[in-house]
Amino acid sequence: MKTVFNNKWFLGMAAVALGLTAVSCEDQPDKFELTSGKPVVKYIRPAGAAASDSLLTGAYLDNLICLVGDNLTSIHELYFNDQKAILNTSYITDHTLLIAVPGGIPDVVTNKIYMVTKDGDTVDYDFNVLVPGPSVRSMSCEYAPAGSEATIYGDYFIDDPNVPLTISLAGNVNVPSENITSISKTAIKFIVPDNAPAGYLNVNTIYGTGRSAFQFRDSRNILFDWDGSHGGLTTGHGWRNGVIHEPGADAGIEAIDGNYLYFGGADILGDIGGTWAEDQFCINYWPEPAAGFPALKDLPDFAEMLADYGVDNLQVKFECFVPSSNPWSSAALQVMFTPSSLVDYSTGSNAYYSDTTFPRGLWNPWQNTGSFTTDNQWQTVTLALNTFTYTHEGGSAGKLNASYFDGLTLFVWHGGVAGTDCSPVICIDNFRVVPIE
């Protein structure tokens, strides 16, 4: 049976697979010796023993394959089209050769393998190198306004001169080609057009079409939008209801979508847990259904998502703005979903902040760089709920379950990592929980 190897699960796994599957091709020799003469390839098959009866006419980038033939120890260099492959002599015998298809995109496509001997002779063999369609994984800001430059991140963004890359938004609205300002294999920059609708977007290349793993201007299950424009709540409900700013309230901060939550106005020391600025950097939402403040998990959209996806397949998203004038370099944003059994409006208490059995998410983007801003732009932040396993100190505290999603507390405090003194401003909008796609 001849086939094309299209198992994309092997992408990026070639190095691991070489070690794991070498014996499935043939026992490695005691010592490799480069031989004279020319190689003969009889056929190519997948590296795994389970697929050894399948003959390949092509494979995707980074996939591991096995050449079968004679005198394969004469191969000194090997190319797929114009891309040089890495030979590992530990996995070459006279009759078999394990090789990973190079991950680089070929500039000149001949659909051949070229085997160069130590004597400089070249032997070719027909074989198709397949490039996956684009993978559209994330966006710098899912609420990027019209006229701003946004970046799409992913892979295999190939702009072929004969078939140029294009971006199409929901409803088949195309981004004008002149709006696309930069293209690399893993990122596309474009100016958001005036008529950009909400929804999934597609990147189209010569190798296919990839749909985004997110929705542009996603309005699903927005828990807090601070103004009700997307059906979210407009305020906290607890000891600290949060400081909500309207557009134009802060110099240098252009609102992205109406009102936003504002954290700032106090210094945070670099010492671990050295500052408790609850008034300036905290918001509590403790449910009180009788007063019109429902448990979050009882909101129809949230209840449906929890039922359909479960906690582990959901993620928190929000837009964030940290101005260059007020960088953030200490303490973590602690994201705490709270069950009514722990705290509601009638039993208000902040004892759970330091409860080491209580899991929460920690976001401290300054940790690896020493300081963090969003370069005076809004950006989308994503935190998978299956990572909400930390104590306030960064230790282990178990996992969330569906009972936790009654209330919410956001508090910039502790995190278990030392930083440097700072006076950060952290703005948040469109706090939502959506599926991981």
Q: Mean pLDDT of residues grouped by 10 in the chain (437 residues)?
A: 47 40 48 92 86 85 96 97 96 96 92 96 97 97 97 96 96 96 97 96 97 98 98 98 98 97 98 97 98 98 98 98 98 98 97 97 97 98 98 97 98 98 98 98
Alpha helix (H) residue ranges in 81-234: none
Alpha helix (H) residue ranges in 199-344: 300-309
Coil, strand or helix: which one is 221? coil
8 Å CB contact between 225 and 180:
no
What phi and psi values does residue 101 have, to the nearest 5 degrees? -60, 130
**pLDDT at residue 6, rounded to an integer:** 53
- The 10 Å Cβ neighbour count of residue 239 is 16
**pLDDT at residue 27, rounded to an integer:** 52
DSSP conformation letters of 328-387: B-SSEEEEEEE-TTT--GGG---GGGG-TTS-BEEE-TTTTTS-B--TTS-EEEEEEGGG
Among 314, 330, 308, 318, which residue's Cα sits nearest to residue 257?
A: 318
Q: Cα(382)–Cα(152) distance, rounded to whole angstroms?
A: 15
**pLDDT at residue 394, rounded to an integer:** 97
Q: Cα(77)–Cα(190) distance, rounded to whole angstroms?
A: 40
Give the DSSP H or E segment for 209.
strand 208-211
Place of tokens 């396993």: 389
Q: Cα(103)–Cα(61) distance, rounded to whole angstroms?
A: 5
Calculate the alpha carbon distances from 6 to 12, 15, 133, 408 in Å. Answer: 14, 18, 12, 44
| Nearest-10 Cα torsion for 177, 183, 188, 189 | -70
118-124: long-range contacts, CB 8 A cutoff, minimum separation 24: 118/34, 118/36, 118/74, 118/76, 119/36, 121/38, 123/38, 123/39, 123/40, 123/41
| Residue 284 exposed, middle or buried by CB count within 10 Å (0-12, 13-18, 19+) | buried
What phi and psi values does residue 19 have, to the nearest 5 degrees? -70, -35
Tokens (6 digits) for 260: 């936003």
Q: Which domains does the chain have, with CATH numbers?
A: 2-130 (2.60.40.10), 135-211 (2.70.50.70), 222-435 (2.60.120)
Tokens (6 digits) for 313: 């397949």
**pLDDT at residue 310, rounded to an integer:** 97
What phi and psi values does residue 371 have, to the nearest 5 degrees? -160, 150
Note the pTM of the prediction, 2 decimals. 0.87
8 Å CB contact between 280 and 266:
yes
Amino acid at position 34, single letter: L
**pLDDT at residue 31, rounded to an integer:** 75
Place of tokens 């449910």: 287
Q: Cα(307)–Cα(302) distance, rounded to whole angstroms?
A: 9
Among 292, 253, 294, 277, which residue's Cα sits nearest to residue 407?
A: 294
Q: Sign (positive/negative) of CA torsion 76, 77, 80, 85?
A: positive
Calculate the alpha carbon distances from 261 to 22, 106, 245, 257, 270 in Å. Answer: 55, 48, 6, 11, 24
Give the DSSP H or E segment for 21.
helix 14-25
Coil, strand or helix: which one is 126? strand
